[in-house]
């Protein structure tokens, strides 16, 4: 699914958290470029990119699903990445309307 894949790439938790002022413009640039390369994809689908990414991050327990079966697998790096996913989901939800408005402008 192109929408999920684009969100996964452009809205990686590390990108969203490390670039708090640039992830929305970066998303707009990526979606605009993707639209130029794939004009057949409906604008409504591309508008859903941040919502799908936020939902995926909020619902996914990866990478922290492994430790219950193998507690030794919980490294500091894995725990930090799990926390970053949670924090990024929160940021995406908090700025979802702003991100969608910017995408509406790009997709007009």
Q: What is the pLDDT of residues 32-48, one digit of tens each?
A: 999 999 999 999 999 99
**How many whole angstroms separate alpha carbon 6 and alpha carbon 1?**
9
Q: Is residue 57 within 8 Å of 13, Cβ to Cβ?
A: yes
Does the predicted model carry a pTM greater than 0.95? no
Q: Which domain holds residue 60?
A: 2-107
**How many whole angstroms separate alpha carbon 36 and alpha carbon 30?**
10
Which residues, including other chains, have CB under 8 Å from residue 40's CB and lie 6 or more apart? none
Domains of the chain: total: 1
Count of C-beta atoms within a 10 Å radius of residue 67: 15
Q: What is the pLDDT of residues 54-75, one digit of tens each?
A: 999 988 776 666 666 777 777 8
């Amino acid at each position: 699914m192109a929408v999920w894949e684009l969100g996964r790439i452009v809205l990686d938790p590390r990108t969203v958290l490390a670039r708090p002022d640039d992830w929305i413009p970066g998303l707009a640039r990526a979606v605009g470029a993707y639209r130029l390369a794939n004009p057949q994809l409906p604008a409504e689908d591309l508008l859903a990119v941040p919502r799908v990414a936020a939902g995926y991050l909020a619902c996914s327990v990866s990478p922290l699903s492994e430790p219950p079966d193998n507690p030794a697998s919980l490294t500091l790096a894995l725990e930090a990445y799990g926390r970053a996913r949670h924090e990024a989901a929160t940021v995406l939800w908090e700025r979802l309307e702003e991100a969608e408005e910017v995408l509406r402008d790009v997709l007009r």
